[in-house]
């Protein structure tokens, strides 16, 4: 039998991969919101994601996959990507894992520990150096020359009890690099904001999602922190559904919710077998090392045409769904969710050495669908109440077009749309209704028969 050469082997692998791609069919937005469970992780994944979750049990792969881009995002410095609005976006990321009950969050611990082993070790060593400096400074007599603080500290793995002055100093030391924070509970964010309950406006949570933000403080004294710059802080946290809704109960319409990316922790059936993890060993470290090295080298402003096309495609899909539902809450939430998906796609592209994979789009669509599905299920009614809108207990946004009653020929009148609009709690303004009909017509959902009659297109 003739031995398979490298070229033949590569072609065979490519053929297998193409079959897998064709087999994967992404869910539509209608299917996502009609489902009772989170969308399933795609069968075809980007290599970085596939390698990183290789030791995770199947049940928890989706949970880990949604989180790990945040860990990888700490490595690039000065990296920006041009977005579809012409502005640039840095890899600013976060992920909040949400479970119905406590437990399950430990599945992300080992992947994060191995991805950020270098950052954590550097932070540990430089904390020791900082402690030694502080001890020397405190012991120095008044008539002695005080030691100078080290100017090359790199403490980027932060602890949940960090104060704002210490955060300002860490930002100054990082010199444009990203800081990392892993919160054991979402409520630990109160320590950073310095407030809780009704007095907590989550100004810092909103600030760190904005490009070119301005953060810092002025103090008086030789050892006081004086810092001014752009804060780059990426974080991971977890909560239960009940605690999460309670935590954000005072600010439903004010922005923090749209700025977080949600991920789910699946519930395990009573008596189910314990999920078995693989080995996080040297082989695993060698597997993820190339992605880390590529991200450490990644810098500058990048125009990735494939990422832009992906963002345009995802926007067109969610806009088409929104034109049917006319759901303002979903439309508002989708804007930042799309940016988050774009950032993730660009990060994976950079981790690949600036090479695109079709699977990146599969993953980013899934990530965006998980995020919006959870946000809508958890917060849509609360946001409506906060905005004095009509409250609905429906599980997801409903298509107004599907509610329109048609005759035997599939036709309906303008007045029928007004009726549906009114029953859905929306003001049946004639100009607004005609604008909706024009949207449906432009997107190929309906045909206009006469001035006041229309026909659904199957």
State the residue for tokens 């409506």. Answer: 384
**What tokens does 265 get?**
């922790």
Domain encompassing residue 426: 400-456
**Residue 410 covered by a domain:** yes
Please provide residue 183's backbone torsions phi and psi, each rounded to the nearest 5 degrees. Answer: -90, 130
**What tokens does 251 get?**
């600010």
**Residue 419 covered by a domain:** yes
* CA atoms of 348 and 168, how far apart (whole Å): 29
**Residue 412 covered by a domain:** yes
**Cβ neighbours for 177, distance < 8 A, ≥ 6 positions apart:** 74, 77, 154, 156, 232
Could you tell me if 153 and 126 are in contact, meaning their C-beta atoms sit under 8 angstroms apart?
A: yes
**Ramachandran quadrant class, 401 (left: phi over 0; alpha: psi -120 to 50; beta: rest):** alpha
- Taken in order 391, 366, 370, 27, the sign of the CA dihedral is positive
**Residue 350 covered by a domain:** no
Structural domains in the chain (count): 1
Could you tell me if 436 and 326 are in contact, meaning their C-beta atoms sit under 8 angstroms apart?
A: yes
Q: For residue 221, give the DSSP letter.
A: S
**Other CB atoms within 10 A of residue 219 CB:** 11
Q: Given this model, what pLDDT does residue 2 score?
A: 47
**Residue 416 covered by a domain:** yes
Q: Smallest Cα–Cα separation from 115: which of 243, 288, 245, 297?
A: 288
**Residue 44 covered by a domain:** no
Distances from the Cα of 23 to the Cα of 44, 306, 329, angstroms: 9, 22, 33
- Taken in order 48, 52, 55, 56, the sign of the CA dihedral is negative
The SS3 of residue 228 is: strand
Whole-prediction pTM: 0.83
Give pLDDT tens digits along the chain (458 positions). 445 565 555 555 555 555 444 567 899 999 999 998 999 999 999 999 999 999 999 999 999 999 999 999 999 999 999 999 999 999 999 999 999 876 677 899 999 999 999 999 999 999 999 999 988 888 888 777 888 889 899 999 999 988 888 899 999 999 999 999 999 889 999 988 888 888 888 999 999 999 989 997 765 455 556 678 899 999 999 999 999 999 998 887 767 899 999 999 988 777 888 889 999 999 999 999 999 999 999 999 999 999 999 999 999 999 999 999 999 999 999 999 999 999 999 999 999 999 999 999 999 999 999 999 999 999 998 888 877 644 445 567 778 888 888 888 888 898 888 888 888 777 777 888 888 899 999 888 888 988 888 998 86
* CA atoms of 256 and 202, how far apart (whole Å): 7
- Please compute Rg for the chain using Cα positions: 25
Q: Smallest Cα–Cα separation from 97: which of 336, 309, 342, 374?
A: 374
**What tokens does 339 get?**
């940016």
**Residue 430 covered by a domain:** yes
Please provide residue 214's backbone torsions phi and psi, each rounded to the nearest 5 degrees. Answer: -125, 115
Q: Given this model, what pLDDT does residue 220 score?
A: 44
**Residue 429 covered by a domain:** yes
* CA atoms of 172 and 227, how far apart (whole Å): 6
Q: For residue 196, give the DSSP letter.
A: -
């Amino acid at each position: 039998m003739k031995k398979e050469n490298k070229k033949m082997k590569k072609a065979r692998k490519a053929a297998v991969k193409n079959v897998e791609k064709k087999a994967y069919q992404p869910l539509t937005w209608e299917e996502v919101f009609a489902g009772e469970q989170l969308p399933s992780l795609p069968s075809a994944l980007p290599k970085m994601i596939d390698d990183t979750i290789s030791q995770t049990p199947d049940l928890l792969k989706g949970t880990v996959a949604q989180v790990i881009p945040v860990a990888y995002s700490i490595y690039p410095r000065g990296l920006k990507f041009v977005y579809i609005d012409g502005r640039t976006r840095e890899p600013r990321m976060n992920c909040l894992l949400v479970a119905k009950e406590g437990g399950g969050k430990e599945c992300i611990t080992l992947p994060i520990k191995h991805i950020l082993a270098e950052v954590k070790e550097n932070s540990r060593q430089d904390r020791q150096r900082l402690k030694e400096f502080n001890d020397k400074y405190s012991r120095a007599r008044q008539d002695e020359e005080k030691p100078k603080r080290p100017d090359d500290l790199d403490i980027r793995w932060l602890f949940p009890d960090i104060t704002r002055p210490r955060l300002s100093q860490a930002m100054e030391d990082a010199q444009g690099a990203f800081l990392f924070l892993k919160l054991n509970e979402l409520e630990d964010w109160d320590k950073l904001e310095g407030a809780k309950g009704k007095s907590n406006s989550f100004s810092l949570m909103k600030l760190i999602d904005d490009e070119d933000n301005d953060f810092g403080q002025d103090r008086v004294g030789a050892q006081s922190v004086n810092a001014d710059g752009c804060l780059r802080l990426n974080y991971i946290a977890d909560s239960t559904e009940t605690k999460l809704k309670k935590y954000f109960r005072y600010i439903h319409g004010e922005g923090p919710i749209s700025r977080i990316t949600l991920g789910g922790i699946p519930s395990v059936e009573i008596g189910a077998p314990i999920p078995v993890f693989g080995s996080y060993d040297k082989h695993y470290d060698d597997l993820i090392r190339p992605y880390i090295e590529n991200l450490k080298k990644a810098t500058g402003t990048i125009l990735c045409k494939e990422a832009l096309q992906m963002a345009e495609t995802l926007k067109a899909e969610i806009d088409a769904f929104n034109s049917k539902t006319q759901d303002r809450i979903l439309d508002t939430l989708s804007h930042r969710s799309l940016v988050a998906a774009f950032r993730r796609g660009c990060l994976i592209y950079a981790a690949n050495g600036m090479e695109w994979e079709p699977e990146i789009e599969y993953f980013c669509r899934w990530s965006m669908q998980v995020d919006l599905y959870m946000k809508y299920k958890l917060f849509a009614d609360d946001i409506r109440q906060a905005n004095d809108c009509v409250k609905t207990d429906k599980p997801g946004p409903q298509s107004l077009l599907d509610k329109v009653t048609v005759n035997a020929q599939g036709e309906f009148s303008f007045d029928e749309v007004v009726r549906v609009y009114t029953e859905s709690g929306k003001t049946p303004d004639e100009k607004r209704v005609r604008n909706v009909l024009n949207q449906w017509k432009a997107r190929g959902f309906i045909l206009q028969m006469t001035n006041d009659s229309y026909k659904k297109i199957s």
